[in-house]
Amino acid sequence: MRLGILGSGKGSNLGAILRAIQAGELDATVVVAISDVPGAGILDLASDAGIPTHTLVEPRYKSRLSAEVEAELVSVLQAAEVDLVVLAGYMRVVKAPLLEAFPRRVINIHPSLLPDFRGREAWRQALEAGVEKTGCTVHYVDAGVDTGEILAQAEVPLIPGDTPESLHARIQAAEHHLYPSVIRQLAKENR
């Protein structure tokens, strides 16, 4: 399975996916990594692994892409012959034409047990709500924000003394196991 990874940050989920591939646990190849943030860590991580990278900056909007930039994103992914688009800390809401170009082939990982705590800083939302557990969710991306069909979830308990940083770190550790596992299952189903 040919993966296109989109991210805005340091790329820890890309790192987890690459480790699973290198360990022979995931039959996939990352063929392109794309960020909306020049100099993002995900680009360095991909470049160090020999993966082609692209930066597509959106100058007009903070949380979404203009139609022009999203069309350019689709072109880059199609040129790389991507089978599955993997959002890995990509902080932009995607819409058509990406979802139309890759129907049921765009997935995301979100740091909560959806449908609870959609949107940004879900770990902080969970702490403020005082829940006993949160976690992470892999889901198909649809036109809403964190509303697509859920593929898998992993629970992470809140513990006394948790800070936003400590909880987020434990959720990310769960993400690093869950995301490669879900991609592995999708690759098996699409053989």
DSSP 85: E
Catalytic residue among 54, 110, 139, 176: 110
Instruction: Please answer whether residues 32 and 53 qualify as being in contact, where contact means their C-beta atoms are separated by less than 8 angstroms.
Output: yes
**Is the torsion defined by CA of 46, 50, 55, 56 positive or negative?**
negative
Task: Enumerate the β-bridge partners of residue 158.
Answer: none
110 is catalytic: yes
115 to each of 135, 144, 187, how far by Cα in Å? 11, 12, 25
**Is the torsion defined by CA of 155, 161, 164, 170 positive or negative?**
negative
Q: In what order do the strands lie in the sheet with 106-110?
A: 53-55, 29-35, 2-6, 84-87, 106-110, 133-140, 150-157
Helix (H, G, I), strand (E, B) or coil at 158: coil
CA-CA distance, 81 to 75, in Å (whole number)? 10
Instruction: Provide the 10 A C-beta neighbour count for residue 50.
Output: 7
Q: Which residues are catalytic?
A: 110
